[in-house]
Amino acid sequence: MTAEPILTISGLNVDYGTGASGVRALRDIDLTLHRGEVLGLAGESGSGKSTLAYAVTRLLSPPGVITGGDVHYHRPGGESIDILSLTPDELRAFRWQELSIVFQGAMNSLNPVHTVHSQLTDVLTAHRPGMRAAERTARAEELLNLVGISADRLAAYPHQLSGGMRQRVMIAMALALEPEIVIMDEPTTALDVVMQRQILRKLVELRERLSFSVVFITHDISLLIEFSDRIAIMYGGRIVEQAGATEIYRDPRHPYSEGLLHSFPALHGPRRELTGIPGSPPHLSAMPTGCAFHPRCGKAFEPCPERVPVLAAPEAGQDREVACWLPH
Amino acid sequence: MKYILQRLAFYAVTAWAAITINFLIPRLMPGDPVEALMSRYQGQLDTTAIASLKALFGLDEHQSLWSQYTDYWSHLIDGDLGLSFTFFPTPVGEVISQSLPWTLALVGITTLISFLLGTGIGVYSGWRRGSWLDGLLPVTTFISAIPYFWLGLIAIALFAVKWQIFPAAGGYDNSLVPAFDWPFISSALYHGVLPGVTIVLSAIAGWILGMRNMMVTVSSEDYVMVAQAKGLSERRVMFSYAARNAVLPNISGFALSLGFIVGGTLLVEMVFSYPGIGYQLFQAVGAKDYPLMQGVFLIITLSVLAANLLADMAYALLDPRTRKEA
Ligand SMILES: Nc1ncnc2c1ncn2[C@@H]1O[C@H](COP(=O)(O)OP(=O)(O)O)[C@@H](O)[C@H]1O
Ligand code: SF4
Ligand SMILES: [Mg+2]
């Protein structure tokens, strides 16, 4: 991967609650998104994927707090912006213009009392004060066409649209200002498989046309194998492995990654046996010591319950990282 | 549109049922209180007055129930509600049309003020939880927990008796002739201050709490988060996304309270001897003035229905989902 970084996250820690009742949801997250790539973020439900998306966009609502770390955005010119120290006004200007997000609950992401038109154009009103009303409407029509919805749906209210259409409206909205980064948090989870593929194909096509970078979050790793360039795997609030999509698929190094691959039917290639992962994900308040995965890991050995494995390249010079005590 | 027509039909049927019950009740009453009263006013009632009272209270036993019923309706449609005994020989319709504007003005305006003010405070305190506005909540809740009767009497004791700032009773200075001029209007406003402020004080906490809770609930909705993520101005997120949705459940509450303006005003008008319809009803009950009571009940019923219809229309206007369900 020769591309320059566009978003760098380093040492990010997030807690829910403070003091005795506080729990740590993200631990020392280091992650880089490169210009033009699709980065997949996978992990079972509760592993902290959404928390990461909210923290990066500073949308965490109480009791969530960022307790440490940096998030930097790199403008195309090379200028670097410290997202976590933006003032409220700077943050408002930054949002959607540089980084937009499609949420997990995309079904409820549209305001039920306003039309699609109003919700597509208010972001233009906020960020492009010079734009005239007719231009905004034209842009909204263009955006709907982009995602394959006819322009006459602009007058519709959210409840008049199907789930798939609402989702595509959200994607259109995310592209309204042609941002550099789009974060998609399980954008298709609530939809049926056919609709999921349709939307993802559209997304990939749009990305090639408009060249933005994507962080694609899902618990279904088989989607990522197909659609992303690189994949990061999360477990218990940590990144436990990251590598190119094909490398993860062919040669997962972390037992958890391997478990995930055996939890979803592969789309292409040889059939894998669906064994799943025994046990269930840990609670934040009772995170196992050492490698958090050790109670569920078939390959655990002496160091695992004692010491936390660090995320590092398995062999020097490799462009992948894994956090596991197993010799590679 | 279809939705509104459906609602209209529903309320028409309800109104018909209410009026029919109003027709039946005096006919089911044991004894003949109206007849007793009529005999007391013997000689003072002319024949048309007797005819309309008979039609309204079913004293004409020679008629079938059905023809009594059609008679009743034809009197109602003419606006003929009989004669009031308390204000003999003023027709009930006239008594009501003189007192109703007072009630509508006093309680209507104060209900609107409490709703708007309470909703506004609720929006801000729900949006900025932990701000100084939250300190206001226990105070308003405490005041609203005081029975209105007490609150009114305390207000009179303090501001009308101890410090004689405001009048203790009445709707205007009795030395003035009611007219649409400044001396009369200013006197009416001046007399309205104490009852008005006490109504607002006792009602506002409910609106604040209801709106605050809804704001808190709605603030965690995905679309509010999206609005934040879009970098919209805080005002737009707070009003157009959060408050705009949070206010919907309060609309029906507001409509109900509009309906209770006429019915619920009894206490206020008793405490302040205010010349509205509640005070009229109070006097009618005391004087066993059945025609007036029946007239007031009719007005109360119709106003509750009208307020509900209004609420349905407001809801249809504010919530596009209602329009679809029609
Ligand atoms: N508001 C909250 N308060 C407390 N804990 C939370 C809150 N939101 C999420 N969590 C916890 O944080 C962890 C990560 O959640 P989340 O980021 O939603 O995971 P994912 O998106 O991977 O399913 C979970 O254990 C969840 O229980
Ligand atoms: S560190 Fe040990 S427990 Fe953790 S994944 Fe590797 S082998 Fe399993
Ligand atoms: Mg999630």
- Please tell me which residue, B237 or A278, carries the higher pLDDT value: B237
Say yes or no for a CB contact (<8 Å) between B231 and A109. no
Residue-wise pLDDT tens digits, B107-138? 888 989 999 999 999 999 999 887 888 888 88
Three-point CA angle B190, B93, B271, nearest 5°: 35
Q: Which of A29, A67, A284, A285 to mutate to test the pocket of ligand 1 (most atoms within 8 A of CB)?
A: A284
**Do the strands A230-235 and A38-42 form a parallel or antiparallel pair, or are they unpaired?**
parallel
Task: Identify the pLDDT of residue A2.
Answer: 57
What is the mean predicted confidence (pLDDT) over A297-321?
Answer: 92
What's the confidence (pLDDT) of residue B161? 84
pLDDT at B326 over 50: no
Q: What is the CB neighbour count within 10 angstroms for residue A81?
A: 15
Cα-to-centroid distance, A235 and ligand 3 (Å): 13
Ligand nearest to the CA of A52: 1
pLDDT band at B66 (very low <50, low <70, confident <90, very high): confident
| Partner residue facing A59 (CB), from B221, B228, B318 | B228
DSSP letters for B261-298: HHHHTHHHHHHTT-SSHHHHHHHHHHTT-HHHHHHHHH
H or E stretch at B98: helix B92-103
Cβ–Cβ below 8 Å for A157 and B324: yes
Q: Counting atoms of ligand 2 from 1, which one is nearest the CA of A297?
A: 8
Query: Can you tell me the mean pLDDT for B86-95?
Result: 82
Contact partners, residue B184, CB within 8 Å, separation at least 6: B172, B176, B177, B178
Cβ A108–B229 below 8 Å, yes or no? Answer: no
Q: What percent of chain A has pLDDT over 90?
A: 70
> What angle (nearest 5°) sits at the alpha carbon of residue A218, between those of residues A247 and A118?
135
- Report the nearest atom of ligand 1 relative to the CA of A104: 21
What is the predicted pLDDT for the residue at B316? 84
Rounded CA-CA distance B54/B48 in Å is 10
pLDDT, position B58? 66
Ligand 1 within 6 A of CB of A236: no
Handedness of CA B49, B51, B53, B55 (dihedral sign): negative
Alpha-carbon distance of A203 to B144, in angstroms, equals 55
**Once rounded to an integer, what is the mean pLDDT over residues A135-162?**
93
In which band, very low, low, confident or very high, does the pLDDT at B176 lie, cut at 50, 70 and 90?
Answer: confident
Q: ipTM above 0.95?
A: no
Instruction: Write down the pLDDT at residue A125.
Output: 95
For atom 6 of ligand 2, which residue has the closest CA?
A324
Q: What is the dihedral of CA A310, A311, A312, A315, to 10 degrees?
A: 90
Report the distance separating Cα A119 and Cα B15, nearest Å. 41
For atom 20 of ligand 1, which residue has the closest CA? A46
d(CA B176, CA B184): 7
Nearest to A95 among B220, B229, B244 (CB): B229
Evaluate if residue B246 carries a pLDDT over 50: yes
Q: Is the pLDDT of residue A26 over 90?
A: yes
Q: How confident is the model at residue A32 (pLDDT cuts 50, 70, 90)?
A: very high
What does the alpha-carbon distance between residue B9 and residue B16 come to, in Å, rounded to a whole number? 11
Looking at chain B, which residues constitute the CATH 1.10.3720.10 domain(s)? 103-322
CATH architecture of the domain with residue range A5-98+181-322: 3-Layer(aba) Sandwich (3.40)
- Set of chain A residues whose Cβ sits within 8 Å of the Cβ of B231: 91-97, 123, 126-127
Ligand 2 center to B192 CA (angstroms): 78
Q: Kindly tell me if the per-residue pLDDT of A150 is higher than 90.
A: yes
Considering only the beta carbons, identify the residue of A101, A127, A159 that sits closest to B229.
A101
**CA-wise closest residue to B172 among B112, B98, B283, B109:** B98
Does residue B51 surpass a pLDDT of 80?
no
Instruction: Count contacts between A and B (CB, < 8 Å).
Output: 78
> Which has more pLDDT, A311 or B24?
A311
Residue A1 has pLDDT above 50, yes or no: no
CA of B196 to the centre of ligand 2 (A): 72
For residue B23, give the DSSP letter: H
pLDDT of residue B302: 87
Quick count: other Cβ atoms within 10 Å of Cβ A280?
Answer: 11
Using a CB–CB cutoff of 8 Å, tell me whether A51 touches chain B.
no
A112–B228 C-beta distance less than 8 A: no
Assess whether pLDDT exceeds 70 at residue B102: yes
Burial of A116 (0-12, 13-18, 19+ CB in 10 A): buried
Three-state SS at A26? strand
Which atom of ligand 2 is the closest one to the Cα of A292?
A: 4
Classify A127 as helix, strand or coil: helix
Inform me whether the C-beta atom of residue A55 falls under 8 Å from chain B C-beta atoms.
no
Contact check, Cβ <8 Å, A92/B220:
no
Helix (H, G, I), strand (E, B) or coil at B61: coil
What pLDDT shows up at residue A65? Answer: 94
Report domain extents, chain A.
Answer: 5-98+181-322, 107-178
Q: Is the dihedral of CA A124, A126, A127, A130 positive or negative?
A: positive
Average pLDDT (B77-94) is 81
Amino acid at A294: H
Say which residue the tokens 């008793």 belong to: B270
Contact: B230, A91; criterion CB under 8 Å: no
The confidence score (pLDDT) of residue B322 equals 78
Q: What letter does residue A4 receive in the DSSP assignment?
A: P
Helices B277-286 and B92-103, packing angle to 10 deg: 140
Whether chain B has a CB inside 8 Å of the CB on A139: the answer is no
Relative to the alpha carbon of A105, which ligand is closest? 3
Query: How far from A284 is each of A24, A223, B103, CA to CA, in Å?
Result: 7, 27, 60
Q: How large is the average pLDDT for residues A143-171?
A: 91
Q: Which tokens belong to B298?
A: 């009719």
Task: For residue B243, give the chain A residue with the closest CA.
Answer: A113
Atom of ligand 2 minimally distant from the CA of A254: 5
Q: Which residue has the higher pLDDT, B236 or A206?
A: B236
Name the pairing type of β-strands A238-244 and A99-102.
unpaired
Ligand 1 centroid vs A98 CA: distance in angstroms? 26
> Which segment of A71-80, B2-11, B230-239 scores lowest on mean pLDDT?
B2-11
SS3 B113: helix
Neighboring chain B residues of A126 at a CB cutoff of 8 Å: 230-233, 236
Q: Is pLDDT of B294 > 90?
A: no
Packing angle, helices B92-103 and B248-264, rounded to 10 = 130
pLDDT (average), residues A166-189: 91
pLDDT tens digits, residue range A187-196?
877 777 777 7
Tell me the average pLDDT across B148-159: 86
What are the residues whose beta carbons fall under 8 Å from the beta carbon of B13, sequence distance 6 or more? none
Smallest CA-to-CA distance from B204 within B124, B270, B145, B128 is with: B145
- Is pLDDT of B256 > 80? no
Distance, CA of A90 to CA of A165 (rounded, Å): 32
- In percent, how much of chain A has pLDDT > 70? 96
The yes-or-no verdict on residue B50 having pLDDT over 90 is no
Q: Is the pLDDT of residue A8 over 90?
A: yes
| pLDDT for the residue numbered B33 | 64
pLDDT tens digit sequence for A252-300 = 999 999 999 988 776 666 666 677 788 899 999 999 999 999 999 999 9
Of residues A92, A108, A113, nearest to B320 (C-beta): A113
Chain A residues near residue B324 by CB distance under 8 angstroms = 157, 159-160
Protein residues near ligand 3, an ion, with CB under 5 A: A 50, 104
- Residue B79 CB coordination number (10 Å): 12
Each residue's pLDDT tens digit, A50-79: 999 999 999 998 899 999 999 999 998 888
Average pLDDT, chain A: 90
The Cα–Cα gap between B158 and A27 comes to: 62
Query: What's the pLDDT score for residue A66?
Result: 95
Percent over 90 (pLDDT), chain B: 19
CA-to-CA distance for A131 and A172, rounded, in angstroms? 18
Determine if the peptide bond prior to A129 is cis (ω within 30°).
no
Residue B214: its pLDDT value, please? 94
> For A145-162, what is the mean pLDDT?
92
Contact B291, B92 (CB under 8 A): yes
* Nearest CA among B289, B269, B279, B280 for reference residue B83: B289
Contact (CB<8Å) A123/B231: yes
A217 close to ligand 1 (CB < 6 Angstrom) = no
CA angle, B268 as apex, B262 and B273 as ends, to 5°?
105
Instruction: Identify the residue whose tokens are 């509205």.
Output: B276
Average per-residue pLDDT for chain B: 84
- B103-322 is classed CATH 3.40.50.300: no
Higher per-residue confidence, B291 vs A49: A49
A94·B225 Cβ contact <8 A: no
A218 lines ligand 1 (CB under 6 A): no
